[in-house]
Chain A
Amino acid sequence: MNAGLPREAEVVSRREESPGLFTLHLRLTDSAAQAAYRFRPGQFNMLYLYGVGEVPISLVTDPRETRHIGHTIRAVGRVTRGLARLQPGDRLGLRGPFGNGWPLGDCEQRDVIVVTGGLGCAPVTGAIHYLMRRRERFGHVNIVQGVKHADDLLWREQYEFWDRMPDTTVLIAADEAGPLWPWHVGRVTDLFDHLHFDPRHAIALCCGPEGMMIAVARQLRDRGIDPDRIWLSIERNMQCGIGLCGHCQIGSKFVCRDGPVFSWREIAPLLQVRGR
């Protein structure tokens, strides 16, 4: 396979999640390629809008779902605003999957803490679905979501559904609450006293703005979780997805190839320097 050449994909369905945020379900038009397509939660595809360009977008569907490939996308730039206009039947290009993905195998038998911030929830949504559909394999699952404003909370009913699952804790915080906001007002780290985990066996998956992830990782480390088991999904400019174009480098790491998921032990020395 030529990893630099997009394959044609078709939009199967499109759902508006909130203003400017949408989910596309795609299918590779080569049915054999679609049937052979495999990925791990936390990996990403490069989506190519004809005549405009390409962007890295994380996968949100369950890896067991082989009929289509799901992406939740925020319309913020030239390419994503164009992708927002695609309708079922429209074609685009797809390269991937790329990157390493979450260490979900290592989550088995452990208490899991998933912390997401702001719009960072998409890359871990796939992981949460994965955990919930295989619930018996994991210990206590903690889902912590922080948003800037109460209105930014997506998939509210999803969180309410997860909250009713056995042995599962859902904690949500908004910097600014709206009327009838039932959850915490403040930061996600304020909620860490309410987590259920045994630090000796816990593992954390974290995604969101870098400053928030750094604060979360330090707190979890201080609460006894091994820095090798605190995982962060990092974002950088990515153009090739295969460690060649050089844009995503932090220190000696190529985020697209060595990551995007890194352990706190690996990435902490690199993230704590401004502008790397």
Chain B
Amino acid sequence: MQADCTLVAGARFLAAADRQRLIDVLREAGYAVHGPRVQDGVIRYAPVATIEDLPRGWRDIQTPGRYGLRQTDDARLFAWAAPAESLKPLVFPGREVRFTAQRDASGRLHFQPAEVPAPRQAVLGVRACDLAGLFLQDRHFLQGGAHPDEAYRRRRRNLFLVAVHCTHPADTCFCAATDDGPVARYGFDLAISELEEGWLLEARSHAGQTILDRLPTRTARDEERQEAEAAFSQAAAAQRRRLPGGDLPARLRERLNPDAWQAVARRCLACGNCTAVCPSCFCHAHVEESALNGSATRRLRQWDSCFTAGHSLLHGRPVREDTASRYRQWLTHKLSGWLEQYGRSGCSGFGRCITWCPEGIDITAEAAAIAGEEA
């Protein structure tokens, strides 16, 4: 598929020297500003105070089972692929208290819902693949059934998203093949096209327009827009991986025979790294934590993974007894089940699951092998 890399008309140009203004204006509007930073050997979202906190000149090197960083003299702040973590922890934290319970002297129980901090947060540098992942989380937590998740809704509502169209995909990326990138199409308030001389800015929401109006911009020139579009087209063309075509969900449904999954199961460690970094994985466990004297207890919700034995536990035994059945659950849910549940594939071409797999297992290659085609 040829990714559409055109920008909408009407972009504004913000000179490189004025980029700090965006952070300032967001803070004045009451947002805590997060952005990509080099921390712990990776680029990840963290609070930022100045434009100097952003990863100027850094490149990420992501290959199956490998992640590395190197610095260049590139003046751009976003000339790298994708942060190590998705947006998921901002709306669906890895571990949080849901309620507390107390038992009084008469044996009565008192349940108290937990306070949900939902700060106004702006995130700079969000990729198209991450926006697709967030869209998937929205579908699950807000539109999945009769009981949407209130905590998710509150945090989500207070999120201001500044997308950056991608120019430097990693070896593991395949957003062009899933039609999610490299240009962000929806789900953001503001989007940045980064040039060496400055940023082209487009607003996609009322909140985004309000911020944009307060920045010292001018109308973007045609040649600036064309330069940006050429970089996005290159970013799309540079991607080598793709998921098998045709009716992949139907083909996967026909290949549920356990034998077909043994080869990948021999390499898969069932560690759950892929589910932790995946922007669409939503499974979570309920965990009880009690005071030693029994006077109080609290319910935690924490990320779970379908690669654990506990995930499918029924009457003391896992329904999915081996790694083959767990890998099958993960891959078929991602590439087939999601479509029936929420109207689109659960994969946005992020490739993080490939990078962070200790064995370098590649979802695109495994899907092709299972579906019976050469990768």
The docked-state distance in angstroms from the alpha carbon of A236 to that of B331 is 20
The docked-state distance in angstroms from the alpha carbon of A245 to that of B103 is 27
A63 is an interface residue with CB less than 8 A from chain B: no
Q: Which residue of B lies closest to A54 (CB)?
A: B286
A93 is an interface residue with CB less than 8 A from chain B: yes
The docked-state distance in angstroms from the alpha carbon of A113 to that of B306 is 36
A50 is an interface residue with CB less than 8 A from chain B: yes
A276 is an interface residue with CB less than 8 A from chain B: yes
Chain B, 280-309, CB within 8 A of any chain A CB:
282-286, 288, 290, 294, 297, 304, 306
Dominant secondary structure at the A interface? loop
A251 is an interface residue with CB less than 8 A from chain B: yes
Contacting residue for A252 out of B147, B283, B340, CB 8 A: B340
B107 is an interface residue with CB less than 8 A from chain A: yes
Contacting residue for B286 out of A3, A53, A273, A276, CB 8 A: A53
A240 & B286 in contact (Cβ 8 Å cutoff): yes
Interface string of A246-259 (1 = CB under 8 A from B): 11010110100100
Contacting residue for A5 out of B99, B144, B322, B328, CB 8 A: B99
Interface string of A2-43 (1 = CB under 8 A from B): 111111100000000000000000000100000000000000
The docked-state distance in angstroms from the alpha carbon of A257 to that of B148 is 12
B258 & A77 in contact (Cβ 8 Å cutoff): no
Min CB gap B292→A, angstroms: 10
B283 & A275 in contact (Cβ 8 Å cutoff): no
B113 & A5 in contact (Cβ 8 Å cutoff): yes
A140 is an interface residue with CB less than 8 A from chain B: no
Q: A244-B144, A245-B304, A273-B256 are in contact. Are A4 and B321 (CB under 8 A)?
A: no
B340 & A275 in contact (Cβ 8 Å cutoff): no
B304 & A275 in contact (Cβ 8 Å cutoff): no
Contacting residue for A245 out of B108, B283, B340, B341, CB 8 A: B283
Interface string of B157-176 (1 = CB under 8 A from A): 00000000000000000000
Min CB gap B59→A, angstroms: 35
A136 is an interface residue with CB less than 8 A from chain B: no
Contacts of A2 in B (CB 8 A): 113, 150
Interface string of A52-69 (1 = CB under 8 A from B): 111000000000000000
Q: A8-B111, A276-B319 are in contact. Are A246 and B314 (CB under 8 A)?
A: no
Chain A, 212-263, CB within 8 A of any chain B CB:
235-237, 239-240, 242-247, 249, 251-252, 254, 257
Q: A236-B314, A236-B319 are in contact. Are A247 and B283 (CB under 8 A)?
A: yes
Q: A93-B101, A249-B333 are in contact. Are A275 and B294 (CB under 8 A)?
A: no
Q: Which residue of A lies closest to B322 (CB)?
A: A275
A275 & B320 in contact (Cβ 8 Å cutoff): yes
B313 is an interface residue with CB less than 8 A from chain A: yes
The docked-state distance in angstroms from the alpha carbon of A245 to that of B88 is 15
The docked-state distance in angstroms from the alpha carbon of A51 to that of B298 is 8
B182 is an interface residue with CB less than 8 A from chain A: no
B312 is an interface residue with CB less than 8 A from chain A: yes
B98 is an interface residue with CB less than 8 A from chain A: yes
Min CB gap B361→A, angstroms: 19
Closest 7 pairs (CB-CB, A-B): A246-B283, A275-B325, A252-B340, A242-B147, A3-B147, A51-B290, A252-B337
By a beta-carbon cutoff of 8 Å, the part of chain B in contact with chain A is 98-99, 101, 103, 107-111, 113, 140-141, 144-147, 149-150, 253, 256, 258, 282-286, 288, 290, 294, 297, 304, 306, 311-316, 319-322, 325, 328-329, 332-333, 336-341
Given A8-B111, A244-B141, output 20 extra A-B contacts at Cβ < 8 Å.
Answer: A5-B99, A5-B111, A50-B101, A51-B101, A51-B288, A76-B315, A91-B103, A91-B107, A93-B111, A235-B315, A236-B312, A236-B319, A237-B313, A240-B286, A243-B144, A245-B286, A251-B340, A252-B333, A275-B320, A276-B329
By a beta-carbon cutoff of 8 Å, the part of chain A in contact with chain B is 2-8, 29, 50-54, 76-77, 89-93, 235-237, 239-240, 242-247, 249, 251-252, 254, 257, 269, 273-276
22 contacts between A and B (CB under 8 A): A4-B98, A7-B111, A8-B111, A50-B297, A51-B297, A235-B314, A237-B311, A243-B147, A245-B283, A245-B284, A247-B304, A247-B311, A252-B333, A252-B337, A252-B341, A257-B144, A269-B253, A275-B321, A275-B322, A275-B328, A276-B320, A276-B329
